[in-house]
Amino acid sequence: MQIQKSFNETSNGEGKLYLVPTPIGNLEDMTFRAISTLKEVDKILAEDTRQSQKLMKYYEIETPMHSFHEFTSVHQVKQWVDYLKSGHSIALISDAGMPLINDPGHPLVQSALESSLSVISLPGANAALTALISSGLPANQFSYYGFFPRSNKDQLEILDQISQRKETAIFYESPYRVHKTISKIREILGDDVLLVIAREISKKFEEYIRGSASELEEYLEKQPLKGECVLLVNGGSEIKQHKRVVDDSLSYKDQVLGLMDEEGLSAKEAIKQIAQYHQVRKQIIYAAFHELDQESK
Ligand code: SAM
C-alpha cells in the first residue's frame, strides 16, 4: 500500500512527477496552475519538443525540455526516475490534452510509483471528456475505448459490448476513417443508433454533428470530414431497438417467443436479447423458457 500526500514535502527530498495537460487546439485552454507548474519544475518531458515549443513561447516558459515518447527506452525511463529521486521535479506533457490518454507516459508513471515517488496529475484539457459533456448523450456512465479498432474481430467485439451496455461509448477516430467506422456501426447496431461527432474541439472550426447512424452516414457521403474528431455512440442500442417488440407484461417465455416470431431469431439469440433487455443473466431467461417449455409438453 502507498499513501501519497501530494502537497506535503517528500520525506527524503525526492522530486515530484507532474502530469500536465496542455491545450487540444486552443492555446488559451491552459490553467494558471499548469503554467506555473511548467515554469517551476526542473525539466519538462514532452512527446515532441518542437510541437510544444509554440506553447512554451506563448506562455514564456523557459524550463529545459527533453523528449519523452512511446519509444523512450526502459533505460531512459529509469534515468528519469533517478533524476526525480535526486530531488528534481519533472512535468510530463504530450502534444495535446492529457498525457497518458492515448499518449506516452505510462511506463514513467509506473516506474515512479514503484520507487514510491509522488505522481501528481493536474486537471485540464482532454478531447474525450470535453466531447462527452456537450454531446447530449448520457454522461454519467461511459466507456472510453481510445482509437476505434482496425481489425474486424475487435470491432465486432467492441460493438457487441456497446450494444449490451447502457452507457456512452467514446472513440478517437481519424477524419479519413470516420465514414467507414460509422458504416460499420450502422451495420452492427442498426440505422437508429444515436451518434455524435465532435470535430476540431476548441478550434475555429469546432463542430458537433449529432444524429442517427443512417443520417450521419448519408451526411458524410456528401461531406468528407477534416480535422481531429471524437466519435460518441449511444450505448444499449440493441436493447432500445427491441423495446418495440418486447412486451414486459408477458412471461419471459412469451417475450422470447415474440422475438423469435417477429424477428426470425433462434431461441438462443432471442434468450440472449431478452436477458440484455432486462439486464439479467442469460441463464435466468433460459431457465424460465425451459421450465415453461417443460410444462407445456
Ligand atoms: N491526450 C489527448 C487527450 O487528452 O484528448 C488525446 C491524444 S490522441 C493521440 C489524439 C486524438 O484525440 C485525435 O486523433 C482525435 O481523435 C482526438 N482529439 C485531439 N484533439 C482534438 C480536438 N481538438 N477535437 C477533436 N478531437 C481531438
Q: Region 55-79: what's the mean pLDDT? A: 97
Ligand 1 pocket test: pick from 134, 230, 232 the residue with the most ligand atoms within 8 Å of its Cβ: 230
> What is the percentage of the chain residues whose pLDDT exceeds 90?
77
Query: For residue range 96-108, what is the model confidence (pLDDT) as tens digits?
Result: 999 999 999 999 9
Q: How far is the CA of 127 from the centre of ligand 1 (A)?
A: 5
Separation CA 78–CA 80 (nearest Å):
5
Assigned CATH class of 128-238: alpha beta
Enumerate residues lining ligand 1, CB below 6 A.
24-25, 94, 96-98, 101-103, 126-128, 172-173, 198-203, 228-230
pLDDT of residue 248: 76
C-alpha 85/C-alpha 79 separation (Å) is 10
Q: Which atom of ligand 1 is nearest to the CA of 25?
A: 23
Flag whether pLDDT at 193 surpasses 70.
yes
262, amino acid identity: E
pTM of the full structure = 0.82
Residue, of 291 and 228, whose pLDDT is higher: 228
Quick one: which atom of ligand 1 is closest to the CA of 202? 23
The CATH number given to 243-297 is 1.10.10
> What is the architecture of the domain spanning 16-124?
3-Layer(aba) Sandwich (3.40)
Task: Locate 72 and state its grid cell.
Answer: 523512450
Ligand 1 atom nearest the C-alpha of 94 is: 1
Could you list the beta-strand ranges (E) of 213-260.
229-233
End-to-end CA distance of the chain: 59
Task: Please report, as a single letter, which amino acid is at residue 202.
Answer: S
Contacts of residue 82, Cβ cutoff 8 Å, sequence gap at least 6: none
Q: Is the CB of residue 97 less than 8 Å from the CB of residue 20?
A: no
Which of 102, 174, 196, 203, when mutated, tests ligand 1's pocket best, judged by the most ligand atoms within 8 Å of its CB? 102
Q: How confident is the prediction for the chain on average, in pLDDT?
A: 92
Bigger pLDDT: 43 vs 243: 43
pLDDT (mean) for 176-182: 97
Q: List, for residues 19-44, the tens digit of each pLDDT value.
A: 999 999 999 999 999 999 999 999 99
Report whether pLDDT(148) > 50: yes
The full set of domain ranges for the chain reads 16-124, 128-238, 243-297
pLDDT score of 9 more than 90: no
pLDDT at 93: 98
DSSP, collapsed to helix, strand or coil, labels residue 90 as strand
What grid cell was written down for 50?
518542437
DSSP state of 223: S
Q: How far is the CA of 96 from the centre of ligand 1 (A)?
A: 7
**Nearest partner of 190 among 166, 159, 220, 219, judged by Cα:** 159
Using one digit for the tens of pLDDT, what is the confidence trace for 249-289? 889 999 899 888 877 788 998 898 888 777 788 889 999 99
CA 146–ligand 1 middle distance (angstroms): 9
* Ligand 1 pocket test target in 20, 22, 24, 225 with most atoms within 8 Å of CB: 24
Phi-psi region at 172: left, alpha or beta (left = phi > 0; alpha = psi -120 to 50): beta
Q: What is the mean pLDDT of residues 142-154?
A: 95
pLDDT tens digits, one per residue of 40-59: 999 999 999 999 999 999 99
- Give the separation between CA 207 and CA 226, rounded to whole angstroms: 11
**Whose alpha carbon is nearest atom 23 of ligand 1?**
201
pLDDT of residue 295 exceeding 70: no
Ligand 1 pocket: which of 22, 135, 228 to mutate (most atoms <8 Å of CB)?
228
Is the pLDDT at 207 greater than 60? The verdict is: yes
Look at residues 202, 205, 131 and name the one whose alpha carbon lies nearest to residue 171. Answer: 131
pLDDT in tens, 75-91: 999 999 999 999 999 99
Between CA 21 and CA 37 the distance in angstroms is 11
